[in-house]
Amino acid sequence: MNTFTSFDGIRIAYYDEGEGPAVILLHGGYLDGLGQFGDFERMLPLAEQRQEMFRQVFGGALPLPNPPLEGRPGMVHALRAAGVRTILPDMRGFGRSDKPREKAAYENSAMARDVAALIDHLRLDAVDVIGFSMGAGVAARLLILRPPQVKSAILAGFGDYAIEDHVMEFPKSWPVPDSVPRPITARVWLEEGAKILEKGEVVPGHLASANLIGCRVTGTDPKVMAAVIRGALMNSLPTEGLGRVDIPVLILNGKADAANQKIAGILKAIPTARAAECEGDHSSTPYQPTFQQAVVQFFEEQRRLRRAI
């Protein structure tokens, strides 16, 4: 584990292992770098705890992720096996990085600026980037910043809700109370979660309590997560900025990742983007062999094309 001081004095922790072409991997919410992209067995106890808490609060829970054995060593293992240098920052607010409680600490693309600062700190001439879930949003904001060292990117576990007032559709059987303002956009739903996190109390019959469950399972400070939500996640990505992206981008989602099946808006917004599918839902996608193969193949293809120029 290494650390460096980012653009505003926040200390960012990161893993940097292996030799060869560099890939930066950006994790999702509640987890850290290795929790998202390391060995499945590292994440499994958290998934088991989360499932049990869901049963206690909501009376039921989704099945535990059960990816194939060949995918369980994780994305880092697959990239390292392909001869790649893997760099995994813990985003501010998570893991071993600093965890400010103020919303302002996460505004103005702060997480993406951390990644740009890390690239400069490591003196990387060329790097590919993959972000999953929250990390995909960070990667998208990094693309808008356009650091010249970033040569290609994968946005995974990601959907149209990030760029527009996309109306979220929940199955009627899910515990979404009538008190939630309609239509339920990503912004509305994130604010519901932030309110529950700030109060620190599970609201019976309210699915947004999943945010507090996530904090309790992973040991995340609820007030930090509320600041992350309000400072970093609630603002939609600007389509004007995405329209200026000029490097290859792959949108990669699991076929069973229900919240991320609508991607037409992203593909329209990013002129250089294309889409691919793999197996898995939102919890299991990073451990699916088809996901790992798609990531390795895309980055190898991009490096091959760059060498040919």
CATH number at residue 300: 3.40.50.1820
Residue 279: is its pLDDT beyond 80?
Answer: yes
Structural domain of 283: 2-165+237-308
47 occurs within a structural domain: yes
Tokens 């199955």 sit at which residue?
A: 171
How far apart are alpha carbons 19 and 194 in whole angstroms?
Answer: 40
HEC readout, the chain: CEEEECCCCCEEEEEEECCCCEEEEECCCCCCHHHHHCCHHHHHHHHHHHHHHHHHHHCCCCCCCCCCHHHCCCHHHHHHHCCCEEEEECCCCCCCCCCCCCHHHHCCCHHHHHHHHHHHHCCCCCEEEEEECHHHHHHHHHHHHCCCCEEEEEEECCCHHHCCCCECCCCCCCCCCCCCCCCCEHHHHHHHHHHHHHHCCCCCCCHHHHHHHHHHHHCCCHHHHHHHHHHHHCCCCCHHHHCCCCCCEEEEEECCCHHHCCCHHHHHHCCCEEEEEECCCCCCHHHCHHHHHHHHHHHHHHHHHHHHC
Query: What average pLDDT does the segment 96-109 reach?
Result: 98
**Mean of all residue pLDDT scores within the chain:** 96
pLDDT in tens, 142-161: 999 999 999 999 999 999 99
Question: Quick one: CA torsion of 293, 294, 299, 305, rounded to 10 degrees?
Answer: 110
Closest CA relative to residue 246, chosen from 272, 222, 226, 227 = 272
Residue 258: is its pLDDT beyond 90?
Answer: no
| 155 beta partners | 131, 251
Query: What average pLDDT does the segment 42-53 reach?
Result: 95
88 occurs within a structural domain: yes
183 occurs within a structural domain: no
Q: What are phi and psi of 213, to 5 degrees?
A: -60, -45
Q: What is the pLDDT of residue 103?
A: 97
215 occurs within a structural domain: no
Q: What is the pLDDT of residue 169?
A: 81
Contact present, 162 and 168 (Cβ < 8 Å): no
Q: What is the pLDDT of residue 292?
A: 98
Closest CA relative to residue 204, chosen from 89, 97, 303, 56 = 56
195 occurs within a structural domain: no
Residue 35: is its pLDDT beyond 90?
Answer: yes
Domain count within the chain: 1
How far apart are alpha carbons 9 and 19 in whole angstroms?
Answer: 29
pLDDT in tens, 167-225: 888 888 889 999 999 999 889 999 999 999 999 999 989 999 999 999 999 999 999 99
Contact present, 232 and 140 (Cβ < 8 Å): no
119 occurs within a structural domain: yes
Q: What is the pLDDT of residue 172?
A: 85
194 occurs within a structural domain: no
Residue 165: is its pLDDT beyond 80?
Answer: no
Q: What is the pLDDT of residue 309?
A: 82
229 occurs within a structural domain: no
Q: What is the pLDDT of residue 304?
A: 97
Query: What average pLDDT does the segment 89-95 reach?
Result: 98
Q: What percent of the chain has pLDDT over 90?
A: 92
Query: What average pLDDT does the segment 14-37 reach?
Result: 97
